[in-house]
Structure 1
Amino acid sequence: MTDDLTNRAVEARRALAQALTGTGDLTDPDWRRAFEEVPRHVFVPYFYAPSGERISANDPATQEQWFTAVHEDRSLVTHRTDGAATSSSSQPSLMATMLEALTVVDGLNVLEIGAGTGYNAALLAHRLGDDHVATVDIAEDITGPARERLATAGYRPTVITGDGCLLGFCGRQGPGQIPQLRIDRSFDPLVVGSSPTRSTTRPRPGRVFRAGAAFRAWVILYVS
C-alpha cells in the first residue's frame, strides 16, 4: 500500500472508531485505542463481493472499493471453499460489543475460537499483550495467512490450527487438548440454528466462560 493510502488508513480507522463510539458500540477507551491503532486493512487485503467478485488492494480497478469497505462497519467474506463463504472479517460493531462484554483486565488470558483473518486476535493482543492471547481455526489455509498478517501488523499471539471440538466443544465428554493448550473443563459452543445437546455451561454470544488451564485462567470467546 502506498504512503498516501497508509496515511488515509490512519484517519479512516479513527473515523470508524469515532462512529462506533457514537453508536454506543465502543465505550471503553482501551478498546477504542485498539480499533484506532490495529490496521484492519492488513488483515483483509481482499474480500469477496456477494457476486463472488474478488475486491483487492492489489487490483487498481477495485483498490478504492476495497479501501472504503475495510474501513466501514461491515462484515467481509474473506475465504471461499467450492464457491461458498467459509470465513469472514466480522462487522466491527459486533466485534466491539463482544470484546467489551469480556470485561477483560490486565493479565487475563483469552482463547478465541475462530481465528478468521486474525484481526480480532490482533485487537485482543493490542489490549492484553501477545502472551495472553491464543486463537484457533480449523484449517492451515486460514491460520497460516492469519499468522503472517498478525506478524506484519506487529502482533504475535499463539495461532493454532485445529478443531475446536478437540478443546471439548461439540458435546464431547472430558477435557479437551490441542498443542500448547489444555482446557480442563469443556462446554458446547452456541451454534446458530442448532438445538442444545447439553444444558450445562452453554454460553450465549458475548458471555464469558472461565475454565481451568495449564496456567492461570482462560476466558473463552466463541466467535460464531
Structure 2
Amino acid sequence: MAKILIIEDDHDLADLVKTGLVREGFEVQVTHTGLEGLEIARTDAPDLIILDLMLPDIDGIDLCRDLRASGDVGILMLTARGMVGERVRGLHAGADDYVPKPFAFEELVARIKAVLRRRSTEGIIRVADLEINLDRREVRRAGRPIGLTTREFDLLRLLAQNAGKPMRREVILQRLWGDDFEGETDPVKVYINFLRRKLNAEGEPDLIHSLRGFGYVLKESS
C-alpha cells in the first residue's frame, strides 16, 4: 500500500481527494501548510506527495525543492490552469509531474500510479503487500515497518531483485557469504527462517517459498 501525503490549503479539495484515494487503496495523510508538510515528509517517509504550489505559508517552488532535497519521494504538483511558467519551475525544482486545476479525479489517479511505477524501478521493489526500499534499506509489509539486520536485508534484497525466479541455495550462499564460509550450519536456511518470522504476521501468507532440493523463491502466494 503506497503512502501519499497531500499538502493543500483548500480543505474541501484536500478532503475530497483523500476520500477518493483511500477508496483506491492508498494510505493518505493531509496537511494544509507547507512547513507541516515538510516535517511530515521528513518523519513519515511517504511514497508520493501531492503538492499545491499556492500555499499560504511558503512558496510552493521552494517547498518542492526542499522536499526533493530531503528524500527520494515522488512529487506531483497541483497548479492553476495556465500557470505554464510555474509548472516549468516546479519540474526544474524536482517535481515528477503536474496536474492543472480543475482536474478529473481519474486523471489524478492515473498520474499518481504512473509516478509510482516509474519510481518503483528506481529503488523500490514491491511483491504483493511487501515493499522494499533499496535506497533507505527499509522494509514494510501491509504498511507496517519491519526491522531487519544487515544480513537479513541483503538476503531479502537478493530474493526481491529476482522475484518470481527460483534461486539456488548455492548461489545465495556464494553471493552473501562468499567462498570463505565454513561451518556445519546452513546459514541460508537459518536466515530464511529469520526473515519468515519477521515478515509474516499472524494469518499472512508466506512470500518466501522453499523449493525442495533446489533453493528459494520470493513471490506472491497463489
Normalising by structure 1, what TM-score?
0.32
Structure number with larger C-alpha Rg? 2
Normalising by structure 2, what TM-score?
0.32
Higher RCO (CA-CA < 8 Å; seq separation 6+): 1
